[in-house]
């Protein structure tokens, strides 16, 4: 174990960085419309992608700098061979408090048991429709059945609480907002609604396709009266609601466009090709991979990370006239 370097990793706005999202692959078996073009993107070459040894070593360094929560993402992380052993190696990092994974659940029926046994704490599942046809239109894959099986498997092996994340898009899946709440009640899940963000490869995002957090709340509250819950921690991105009638399940509303929460942001990202992204919407990156592969010492790597965090943006500029969407698509950032 690496000695704790210092109590916290803080940016120039005084925000403590506690969460690292590690993308382990840019590949995915889905083509979600808000994430990547139907034709896909040019995959990174194997040599550009960090090995599991490199990823584990860097994760240890981030934890020694004060990161306490790791989230494994992709592309689709369960597509990368060896992911179970990787999760196991992350789970053994001392000082780590939370280890989560974000997946499209397609491979969960086969992986859930081994993920649970490897030390994974909890799971978030991206699912944007509960209707087979609409699901296929949105992901270009006829796989709703498998994804629902995946949710059952995650529940069976206690990868709980399970969050199901829906990106709400006007005229596309907004009609299913209440269905998702019903599903969360029925299955005792956390249904999280995410406002559509301009991170889609095809560049089809526009403000009038955004269904605001307020609207989402009102649609659900009209059918299932909601009560506000306190946040789990101060940098929680979702506003949490319980069902006033005491039913199981929970609602989370994430409104980065209409109610930005950047002021309390505690997140940074490491892409599969080893770039530090200090914000989801960063227009510049910090090439940690080449520093690592240049034979840099532990101290040099730490200093590189500390300097990168000191350059963390104050927040996204989506609501600013000069907003520029990042070139990287969501599939190459990892959400
Ligand atoms: S947009 Fe950037 S600064 Fe804002 S919450 Fe997301 S990652 Fe943090």
The domains located in the chain, with CATH, are 9-333 (3.20.20.70)
Q: What is the pTM of this model?
A: 0.95
Give the mean pLDDT of 302-321.
96
Confidence of residue 38 (pLDDT cuts 50, 70, 90): confident
Residue 321 neighbours by CB under 8 Å, 6+ apart: none
Ligand 1, atom 5: closest residue by C-alpha:
262
Confidence of residue 200 (pLDDT cuts 50, 70, 90): confident
pLDDT of residue 53: 98
d(CA 79, CA 329): 18
pLDDT at 218 exceeding the cut of 60: yes
The number of residues in the chain equals 335
Phi-psi region of 59 (alpha: psi -120 to 50; beta: other; left: phi over 0): alpha
Let me know if 7 is exposed, middle or buried by CB neighbors in 10 A (0-12, 13-18, 19+): exposed
Give the mean pLDDT of 163-190.
97
Instruction: Report strand pairing: 122-126 vs 226-228.
Output: unpaired
Q: Which two tokens stand for residue 234?
A: 């101060």
pLDDT of residue 41: 81
Looking at the DSSP assignment, which residues form a beta bridge with residue 101? 72, 123
pLDDT at 174 exceeding the cut of 80: yes
pLDDT of residue 2: 61
Looking at the DSSP assignment, which residues form a beta bridge with residue 228? 241
Looking at the DSSP assignment, which residues form a beta bridge with residue 285? none
Ligand 1 atom closest to Cα of residue 280: 7
Q: Is 5 near ligand 1, meaning CB less than 6 Å away?
A: no
The pLDDT tens digits of the residues spanning 180-193 come to: 999 999 999 999 99
Substitution candidate for ligand 1 out of 280, 309, 320, 333 with most atoms within 8 A of CB: 280
The pLDDT tens digits of the residues spanning 85-142 come to: 999 999 999 999 999 999 999 999 999 999 999 999 999 999 999 999 999 999 999 9
pLDDT of residue 36: 83
């Amino acid at each position: 174990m690496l000695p704790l370097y210092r109590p916290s990793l803080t940016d120039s706005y005084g925000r403590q960085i506690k969460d690292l999202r590690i993308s382990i692959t840019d590949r995915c078996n889905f083509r979600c419309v808000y994430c990547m073009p139907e034709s896909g993107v040019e995959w990174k070459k194997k040599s550009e992608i960090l090995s599991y040894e490199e990823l584990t070593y860097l994760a240890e360094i981030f934890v020694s700098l004060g990161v306490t929560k790791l989230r494994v993402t992709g592309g689709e992380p369960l597509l990368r061979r060896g992911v179970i052993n990787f999760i196991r190696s992350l789970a053994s990092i001392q000082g780590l408090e939370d280890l989560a994974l974000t997946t499209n659940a397609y491979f969960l029926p086969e992986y859930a048991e081994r993920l649970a046994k490897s030390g994974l704490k909890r799971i978030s599942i991206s699912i944007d429709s509960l209707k087979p046809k609409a699901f296929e239109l949105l992901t270009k894959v006829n796989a709703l059945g498998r994804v629902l099986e995946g949710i059952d498997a995650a529940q069976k092996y206690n990868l709980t609480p399970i969050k199901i994340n829906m990106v709400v898009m006007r005229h596309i899946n907004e009609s299913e907002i209440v269905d998702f709440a019903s599903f969360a009640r029925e299955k005792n899940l956390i249904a999280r609604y995410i406002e559509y963000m301009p991170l889609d490869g095809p560049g089809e995002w526009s403000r009038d396709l955004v269904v605001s957090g307020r609207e989402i709340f009102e649609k659900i509250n009209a059918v299932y009266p909601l009560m506000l819950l306190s946040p789990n921690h101060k940098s929680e991105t979702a506003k949490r609601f319980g069902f006033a009638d005491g039913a199981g399940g929970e609602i989370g509303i994430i409104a980065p466009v209409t109610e930005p929460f950047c002021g309390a942001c505690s997140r940074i990202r490491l892409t599969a090709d080893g770039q530090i992204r200090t914000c989801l919407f960063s227009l510049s990156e910090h090439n940690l991979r080449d520093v690592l592969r240049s034979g840099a010492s532990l101290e040099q790597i730490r200093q590189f990370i500390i300097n990168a965090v000191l350059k963390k943006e104050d927040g996204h500029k989506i609501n600013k006239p000069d907003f520029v969407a990042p070139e990287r698509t969501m599939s190459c950032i990892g959400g």
